[in-house]
Amino acid sequence: MPFYEIYHHCPLSISQQDELAAAITDIHAHKFGALKNFVNVSFKDISTAPRYIAGKRQTSNQIFAWVRTGPSRTQEDWNDLIEQVTKAWDNICGTPLPQAKGRTTPDTSLRMVAVMGGLVAAMEAGFVIPQAGGDAQWMRDNWEAFKQRADAGEQEFVDMVKDAQDRGLVEGQGDADKRAQQRLEEMLGWGDSA
């Protein structure tokens, strides 16, 4: 669903990349009720790429996110997302890695987080992604297919089914069914609690 691209001019270790990708995935999944398996994060080292700000060559670290927008996601939601992603960057990448003697320490500050809401349609792992706000019905419509792929041993779907069950995003029986639906709708920002 969402696609986050991290453009970094400062060096990031594999463990920093792993930790930042996990943090962004958790932030987005919990903020919008998305399944973690559909949150994509990539890294691009731009330390040798010329970048210009105000017409002058400069270096900077930036994060761009391509997301689905809709009435269930407010400007306040996006601002909060940006703040959480920035805090994750600062906590994980804000301290420079050790440098060889005589080398300058690169700037690890995050100059920009930009969220673009132009994701009109997408297919991922064989499933057409719903419009923002349609996640609950989409999950119900595809749950059996998700479970079949998990039962067939596809690790991505094993993880996804577990994530959805652990977070209470799937329907259960009786009252549990209603509570699971309410939790999902609350996380999505619509339903009776919106």
**DSSP code string of 78-132:** HHHHHHHHHHHHHHHHSSPPP--TTPPPPP--EEEEEEE------EETTEEPPPT
CA neighbours closer than 13 Å in the CB half-sphere of residue 16: 17
- 4-18 confidence digits (pLDDT tens): 999 999 999 999 999
Angle between helix 14-32 and 75-93 (nearest 10):
160
Per-residue model confidence (pLDDT) at position 102: 66
Q: 123 is written with which tokens?
A: 């297919």
Instruction: Identify which of 5, 9, 175, 193 has the alpha carbon closest to the alpha carbon of residue 184.
Output: 193
Predicted TM-score (pTM) of the model is 0.77
Cα–Cα distance, 127 to 155 (Å, whole number): 16
CATH topology of domain 1-129: Macrophage Migration Inhibitory Factor (3.30.429)
Q: Please say whether the beta carbons of 50 and 36 come within 8 A.
A: no
- 123-156 confidence digits (pLDDT tens): 888 899 888 878 888 888 999 999 999 999 999 9
Domain boundaries along the sequence of the chain: 1-129, 134-194
Instruction: Identify which of 73, 188, 93, 97 has the alpha carbon closest to the alpha carbon of residue 137.
Output: 188
